[in-house]
């Protein structure tokens, strides 16, 4: 049996560039792929993800890069093990090496949703909550730069609105009991539990903290769970999953105990990040999606983690 000769296909990527110039990044965006991420108790979890992959084109005379090599390496590399700083370094170096000397740097951006199970506040229930995550990793001259972005949703009750509501409640109490002497605890309790006992309620709204963190890559795991837990604890009013009446009542109590302007929320989040040794620097934006106004209240804060 005669083996047909290998067909030679044209490759115009090797032609001279139209106008000689080095390029910062060349690659692909929004590649669909499965990704292994650290799940509960450290067990890897497979999720659907979107990836951007780039390499630089340092030779000004080269027309293009080897894109198919990047795509194939990326498909094989990221579903084998949970992502870690060391694993990302290997992937990026492999992408650089695949270009046969055309490139000296690589950048990888991964986007996915991290599912975390959240326990109800009072009842014996739990539910899953999705946190959008973006990992941005760049390797240049052996140096790995790593950033992590994600967001946390919470409830914010306005302190000014709470004070105004308390004033109206006090005025109604004085009006309804101006002639009642003496007052028994039972009478006051029944009044407070009635519709007359609530003259006004403070406005509250769903709110969001968006975080972008430059990480120190000298650690083993890459997970947001400990950060989410610390931030939600600091804010005090994370958006819930499974909710029965007792959970809703507990949530109302937490809102009353954690009255906050956007400035307060930004400072609470910054205080958590400033203590985390994994973080080199951080940028935070909190937005309160106002129920009183047609616009949002926003605060931004940046800073650094503890000295390494």
For 227-264, write each residue's pLDDT tens digit: 999 999 999 999 999 999 999 999 999 999 999 999 99
Cis previous bond, 182, omega within 30: yes
200 pLDDT band, cuts 50/70/90, is: very high
Read off the pLDDT of residues 49-85 as tens digits, 9 standing for 90 and up.
999 999 999 988 888 999 999 999 998 888 777 889 9
Please identify, in words, the CATH class of the domain defined by 23-158+203-304. alpha beta
Calculate the average pLDDT of the chain: 92
At 141, give phi and psi (nearest 5°): 50, 40
Residue 93 confidence (pLDDT) above 80 = yes
16 pLDDT band, cuts 50/70/90, is: low
Read off the pLDDT of residues 113-132 as tens digits, 9 standing for 90 and up.
999 999 999 999 999 999 99
Question: Listing from the earlier edge strand, what are the strands of the sheet with 126-140?
Answer: 23-38, 44-57, 105-119, 126-140, 143-157, 204-215, 279-288, 297-304
Q: Which sequence spans correspond to the domains of the chain?
A: 23-158+203-304, 159-197
Q: What span, in angstroms and rounded, lies between the C-alpha atoms of 214 and 227?
A: 14
> Which of 113-117, 217-221, 304-308 comes out lowest in average pLDDT?
217-221
- The structure's pTM equals 0.89
Identify the three-state secondary structure at position 162: helix
Give CA torsion, residues 265, 113, 226, 299, to 10 deg: -20
Q: What span, in angstroms and rounded, lies between the C-alpha atoms of 292 and 1?
A: 82
14 pLDDT band, cuts 50/70/90, is: low
Query: Is the distance from CB of 83 to CB of 223 less than 8 angstroms?
Result: no
């Amino acid at each position: 049996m005669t083996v047909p000769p290998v067909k030679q296909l044209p490759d115009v990527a090797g032609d001279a560039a139209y106008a000689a110039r080095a390029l910062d990044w060349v690659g692909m965006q929004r590649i669909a792929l499965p990704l292994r991420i650290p799940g509960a108790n450290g067990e890897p979890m497979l999720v659907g993800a979107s990836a951007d992959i780039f390499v630089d084109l340092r030779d000004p005379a080269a027309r293009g890069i080897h894109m198919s090599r990047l795509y194939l390496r990326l498909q094989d590399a990221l579903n084998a093990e949970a992502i870690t700083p060391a694993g990302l370094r290997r992937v990026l170096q492999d992408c650089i090496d695949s270009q046969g000397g055309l490139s000296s740097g690589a950048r990888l951006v991964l986007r996915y949703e991290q599912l975390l199970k959240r326990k109800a506040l009072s009842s014996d229930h739990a539910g899953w909550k999705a946190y959008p995550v973006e990992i941005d990793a760049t390797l240049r001259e052996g140096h790995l730069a790593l950033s992590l972005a994600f967001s946390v949703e919470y409830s914010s009750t306005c302190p000014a609105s709470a004070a105004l509501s308390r004033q109206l409640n006090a005025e109604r109490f004085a009006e309804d009991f101006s002639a009642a002497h003496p007052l028994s605890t039972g009478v006051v309790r029944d009044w407070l539990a009635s519709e007359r006992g609530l003259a006004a309620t403070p406005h509250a709204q769903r709110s969001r903290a968006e975080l972008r963190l430059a990480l120190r890559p000298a650690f083993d795991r890459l997970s947001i769970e400990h950060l989410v837990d610390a931030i939600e604890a600091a804010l005090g009013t994370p958006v819930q999953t499974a909710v029965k009446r007792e959970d809703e009542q507990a949530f109302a109590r937490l809102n009353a105990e954690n009255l906050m302007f956007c400035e307060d929320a930004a400072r609470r989040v910054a205080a958590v990040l400033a203590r985390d040794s994994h973080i080199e620097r951080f940028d935070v934006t909190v937005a309160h999606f106002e129920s009183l106004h047609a616009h949002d209240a926003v605060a931004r804060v940046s800073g650094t983690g503890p000295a390494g």
